[in-house]
Structure 1
């Protein structure tokens, strides 16, 4: 007998709070040496980037940006915070990520991890190969 089909009428898209939990879990599973690059990282989840960010990043639509890193880490010589300096932050944009996920075979958790690693990794000049190794090294 084939397995019963799921009740699709009860399935909803993950909320911002769900995304926040998924992102924090993904970040906590990354190798410690990678997380140290952004000691004290703050993760924000929003539905879309704000208009200023869209202009700054030269986006054509609000779906063009999956995530964004802002801040300075140890690689930029910020071992201690300077007065007036904001903490390291990553923004994850829920709706663009969900839209991207709809066309992929990867799990949503894998995509969230990928966006986190790439936002942090590109900021610190890591190669794509370095970031792929970090993703594979998850606990």
Structure 2
């Protein structure tokens, strides 16, 4: 088993605080930016930032679905949100930082991959799918923030 990690980044025209607030809004904003690969999304506790609990099914491929039950924490280093699946090693770390003309959002998706032949195929093909899915999520977040920067 080895750790698989995918990192994506986008620049937003909104200031870091507004971007972080939008990202931390798991009740209203997050459902608006979910790609079709996320189904059954629910907030089961909290709703904004630290202490929020979410559940959803992530359809990585047509045949592979992962049920996620994540708890959100805010690591002390800057404006970050860490979504940790309670049933697996899946972690999604969102980081918001100042950038020229706005803010930069970086998302890092990590998990422990399978071993053997199955692990080889997972390490080979899964990162591309995750890049596509989370890239779409970042693009939709950009559009939502641009439409309503307040």
**TM score, norm. by length of structure 2:** 0.34
**TM score, norm. by length of structure 1:** 0.36
